[in-house]
A and B are shown apart, each in its own frame.
Chain A
């Protein structure tokens, strides 16, 4: 069964690497948006450092959403999503494979890129480890929760804006704990509490969202 999971992951990764623009664009978006904030707020390092945790998390959230839109779209249009539904392997597992691939393509680069953003926003250097850790624990949840919304809107013509409307309210807990972890670390406090909560949210989404996503896909395919 896990063989099919790895096949789905491999397929999606291969497709992504053949169109590098697809996964580079959300990453560029992430970098450009964070660069807009100093231009809008002002370049005072102190001020930037204060708002940096929130900026990093909000932009990470938006770029994840940007990448999510295409998660099932192409497969829905060319019919391969239907084939996945018909496969004897549980759809939830295959959907989980697609989400995993999505996170590797869109989430992981954000995590890797985040220290650079931290430097640009004058984030206190003692918060860098927490910055990376919080994104590492939080962004998979974003992909997992978002997949439910993508499953529901994949068949719609203008699903993109609708997707943000459905999903963003559900992202709020992750945003709160992610940003506050970095904030605590920047102030020199212990951030393990927030990181634990982020991990528990991740576990909760890991065990529940693949099933909800599978149900959503079946509704869309119907």
Chain B
């Protein structure tokens, strides 16, 4: 089978539905397993930090969430590009599934960061470069979701959202670097402990496991959401009416 055929096959709602229904249980169970090991490793196995004590353990949620927040936006823009270039309906379904997930990851990163910041920095919020760009990322997600919600016509909403996501992804590095520059000018680097790559292996391994857990969790939930979205938008199609899991 050529690449083009695979592409076409994957793009058809029906085969996507079938593929997703096979993949979802796998992703879910792997994610549960990884979460269990990662959390055990992070909360029990990893030694306490010599400076921050046990409160550093929040990085096992915070850092993967922050990574995922950026990954999701790139994926959102990529599916936007597919929507605009190949007019693939599936890409829009995936984009719609990604956006709220990405926004949640961004929120989790901000929230966990702020409850960690209170004992460590003595304040819930500092206008640190990273925090600020993460906050702006959250606004970009909100903008995308608001635009999608405001346009009634599905096809137009898909294209408009795709364009916005592409503009956003071009702007994201510019925003990031300008915020970094702004911060260094205004106040010296407050706390950049995460910047030093000197993290002990016993702390790093659970972090990487947690990252894999977040990623598999994301794919599982994204596929579930995309599948539901697809079944709803194709609800008049014959294959959906005959779908064993669909109740009429």
Contacts and interface: CB of A to CB of B under 8 A. Distances in A.
B is bound to A: yes
Interface of A: 148-149, 152-153, 155-156, 158-159, 162, 165-166, 168-170, 172-173, 176-177, 180, 201, 208, 212, 215-216, 219-220, 222
B136 A169 contact: yes
The dominant DSSP class at the A interface is: helix
B168 A170 contact: yes
Given A169-B136, A172-B175, 18 more contacts: A148-B163, A148-B167, A152-B160, A152-B163, A153-B147, A156-B150, A165-B143, A169-B139, A169-B140, A169-B143, A169-B168, A170-B171, A173-B174, A173-B178, A176-B182, A177-B178, A180-B185, A215-B84
A138 to B, nearest CB: 12
A155 B160 CA distance: 11
Contacts of B179: 172, 176
A165 B142 contact: yes
A162 B150 CA distance: 8
Contacts of B151: 155-156
Interface string B150-193: 11000110011001101110110011001101100100000000
Contact of B164 (A159, A166, A201): A166
A124 to B, nearest CB: 18
B146 to A, nearest CB: 5
A207 B147 CA distance: 25
A173 B147 contact: no
B181 A165 contact: no
A155 B116 CA distance: 44
B220 to A, nearest CB: 29
Contacts of A158: 150
15 contacts: A148-B164, A152-B147, A152-B164, A162-B147, A165-B143, A166-B147, A169-B136, A173-B174, A173-B175, A176-B182, A180-B185, A212-B167, A215-B163, A219-B159, A222-B156
A212 B150 contact: no
Interface string B123-152: 000000000000010011011001100110
Interface of B: 84, 136, 139-140, 142-143, 146-147, 150-151, 155-156, 159-160, 163-164, 166-168, 170-171, 174-175, 178-179, 181-182, 185
Contacts of A148: 163-164, 167
Nearest to B137: A169
Nearest to A193: B181
A210 to B, nearest CB: 13
A102 B181 CA distance: 31
A212 B201 CA distance: 46
B177 to A, nearest CB: 8
Contacts of A216: 160, 163
Contacts of B84: 215
A9 B57 CA distance: 59
Contacts of A222: 155-156, 159
A172 B150 contact: no
Contact of A165 (B146, B159, B185): B146
Contacts of B143: 165-166, 169
Given A169-B140, A170-B171, A212 B163 contact: yes
The 8 closest A-B pairs by CB, nearest first: A173-B178, A166-B143, A176-B182, A169-B139, A219-B159, A176-B178, A152-B160, A165-B143
